[in-house]
Structure 1
Amino acid sequence: MAGPLTSLKVLDFSTLLPGPYATMLLADMGAEVLRVEAPDRVDLTRVMPPHDAGVSTAHSFLNRGKMSIGLNLKEEGSAEKILELIKGYDIVIEQFRPGVMDRLGIGYEALKAVRPDLIYCAITGYGQTGPYRNRAGHDINYLSLAGVSSHCGRADSGPPPMGIQIADVAGGSHHAVMGILAAVIHRQQTGEGQFVDISMTDAAFALNAMSGAACLAGGQEQKPESTLLNGGSFYDYYQTSDGRWLSVGSLEPQFSARLCETLGIPDMASYATSQKPEHQQQLKAALKEKIAAKSVADWQAIFSGQDACVEPVLTISEAAEHPQLKARDMVIGVDRGDGTQQKQIGFPIKFEKTEAEARWIGRKLGADNADYL
């Protein structure tokens, strides 16, 4: 088995996106992951379209490299089975609302009594404490309450619904993996396990980074199209003659000078570094006019030899064929279990010594009951 985490065993009670994405990352890095799923309440990602060879592509991707058992946690005797299983596991990940696992008899205290050095990670919308701890929510709600949505989008149309689940993945999944691995290091040093409390709203709030620092320490509340990086400057997207889009990120003077020279407006290069809003708007208007005159393919050819931080907005299928992403093995073939392979997104971290591996697509519910129960 490849990967740097081959010594770890994970019991996964999560569903949908945040937890499964986190345990997929752990599985790709070599951890042994066993999913515990309710046989009478199917995870939505197992059935949501589209399907490939009769299997949901979301499930195939999010649950690759994992084993699966079907177990109704509410049935008599199920808690005892988990308490027996946990003796051989290092980590638990769950995504229920606070207190649910306790009511099932397999909460942190019950599992810790059997496995004292257990690392237990709970991913929820709002965390284990606070007035919203039991409140329902989705990605769009977490981003809203965390202030992220307030400074995204356009001034005249408001915040956009994002094309990716930022709070779920960048917040819940990635922070969960960080917290778990930090707890693993702590356990290696002290022998102690611990509870890791992941709030997707907390994590989304932390993603504000520079805008959050500007507000909290600098007193500058961010609004859409008001800052250097959110549409308040020429750093923006521009439509081409064929209805596609070009991203312009030429912030540094050497890049903005090259941009203006390539577009035939060298006299406007000084506007790119100007702090005056009217200069930024004049430059944006000039870029809009110039870029609208040619197709995205034309601009790709023109800027292909220019180091100017100008790139086309690609579709996912186009990105998958881009030579840079292909060179980085970001599209891989994953075993379907029948000798064929399914195309999937590759693992984004490259290890020199312990290469990550996507071993198989998501398995059928309960496929491993005979081995584990």
Structure 2
Amino acid sequence: MSSADLPGRPLGGVRGPCAGFEGLRVLDFTKLLPGPYATQMLADLGCRVSKIELPHFPDEAREMPPKIAGEGAVFRMVNQGKEMLSVDFRKPEGLARVRARAAQADVLVEGFRPGLMERCGLGAEELMRANPRLIYCSLTGYPEDGPWRRKAGHDLNFLAVSGFLGLEADAPRVPPTQIADLTGSLAAVAAVLAALVERGATGRGKRVAVSMVETVHSLLAVPLAEALAEGKDPSGPRWWNGAHPFYRLYATADGRQLAVAALEKPFALSLLDALGLESLRGLVDDPLAHGERLSAELARVLSGACAAQWEERLKGKDVCVTKVLGLGEARAFMDELRTPSAEPAARRQS
């Protein structure tokens, strides 16, 4: 199975391969999800990725259930098209073999706790001395120079201490996917690509470090901006925490949910008109102040029909309303979205 045949492609929304990447050699020392996702993106762009694992301590994702043909399904999702190398680099012959690879590599990505690669004789300083063009990327949980540099952690821990979970209007909940892990992956790829561009100008490699907790904290641009403006943590009704009547989920008659995101006034007015709530148009100028009434009326009307009926009634209307899809439905919908449109190409590009 090729990477392109798997669901959830293209990873990161970037479709490859791209010219110029086919000659780039990447050494992948990562495990589980964040690092392999990043190096899978590089592989999909066209890089030649070699995944290096210790014989007696391979990637744990290989054995994580559920499995496909005896292989962990998550491992398969993020390790396609990579050369698999089992090398005990803790021993002199294995270390020499890996160093020889690093001397010819363009990029190295590792996801160990700070200090481990140095203790193995594969630290950035040593490898970049032998190969000055090497881009050495470390993907860590916490900043590699800080007091938590060696603290164990996973996605949920990073979300907890970054402030992400604490912004929930009600009790914090475990998200349905690994947000910190995967934003860290995307940031690592961005850092590697930026370093490659810089190398093109300077001829020299670069040491780059990405911490997942800092990356996910940076996603909080809106609440951080509000805290900066108000001089305190944002609290109470906000448009982004479910208090806004035109930016929340509503139940339908069949127990499904609709995502309403009609934030701008024209969308909100169009939605009220489409739902027969024209009498509420005067409340749109300050929807948070009238949030209780607007939410109650929207909930009442939207609960009166099934989700599919609302899809049909609102089809072609600029109201920013979509049905909440299950995973299987979403996979089918992604395929539908990728079907070429009959719309003129010039208009699609504008």
TM-score (norm. length: structure 1): 0.82
1:168 is paired with a residue of what secondary structure? helix
Q: Corresponding residue for 2:127?
A: 111
Q: Corresponding residue for 2:316?
A: 305
* Distance of 1:286 and 1:220 partners within structure 2: 33
* Distance of 1:134 and 1:270 partners within structure 2: 56
Structure 2 residue 147 is matched with structure 1 residue 131 = yes
RMSD: 1.9
Structure 2 residue 88 is matched with structure 1 residue 72 = yes
Q: Corresponding residue for 1:212?
A: 224
Q: Corresponding residue for 1:162?
A: 175
Q: Which runs of 5+ in 1 are unaligned?
A: 331-351, 353-373
Q: Which structure 2 residues correspond to residues 199-348 of structure 1 after superposition, within 5 A?
A: 199-223=211-235, 226-234=237-245, 235-274=247-286, 276-277=288-289, 279-322=290-333, 325-328=335-338
* Distance of 2:339 and 2:221 partners within structure 1: 30
Q: Corresponding residue for 1:11?
A: 27
Instruction: Judge conservation of contact 2:243–2:288 (CA < 8 Å) in 1.
Output: no
* Distance of 2:162 and 2:297 partners within structure 1: 35
| Aligned mate of 2:198, from 186, 205, 230 | 186
Using the TM superposition, name which of 73-82 and 93-102 deviates more. 73-82
**Residue 291 of structure 1, CA deviation:** 1.5
Q: Which amino acid aligns with 1:110?
A: E
Q: Corresponding residue for 1:91?
A: 107
2:322 is paired with a residue of what secondary structure? strand
Instruction: Judge conservation of contact 2:244–2:288 (CA < 8 Å) in 1.
Output: no
* Distance of 1:274 and 1:74 partners within structure 2: 64
More helix, by proportion: 2
* Distance of 1:80 and 1:116 partners within structure 2: 18
Instruction: Judge conservation of contact 2:38–2:189 (CA < 8 Å) in 1.
Output: yes
Q: Which structure 2 residues correspond to residues 355-366 of structure 1 after superposition, within 5 A?
A: none
Q: Which amino acid aligns with 1:192?
A: R
Instruction: Judge conservation of contact 1:150–1:222 (CA < 8 Å) in 2.
Output: no
Q: Which runs of 5+ in 2 are unaligned?
A: 1-15, 341-348
2:109 is paired with a residue of what secondary structure? strand
Instruction: Judge conservation of contact 1:272–1:280 (CA < 8 Å) in 2.
Output: no
Q: Which amino acid aligns with 1:161?
A: V
* Distance of 1:120 and 1:90 partners within structure 2: 9
1:34 is paired with a residue of what secondary structure? strand
Structure 2 CA distance for partners of 1:57 and 1:280, relative to 1, 3 Å = same
What is the aligned length? 324
Q: Which amino acid aligns with 2:90?
A: K
**Residue 19 of structure 1, CA deviation:** 0.6
1:77 is paired with a residue of what secondary structure? helix
1:16 is paired with a residue of what secondary structure? coil
Q: Which structure 2 residues correspond to residues 55-70 of structure 1 after superposition, within 5 A?
A: 55-70=71-86
Instruction: Judge conservation of contact 2:155–2:178 (CA < 8 Å) in 1.
Output: yes
Instruction: Judge conservation of contact 1:175–1:198 (CA < 8 Å) in 2.
Output: yes
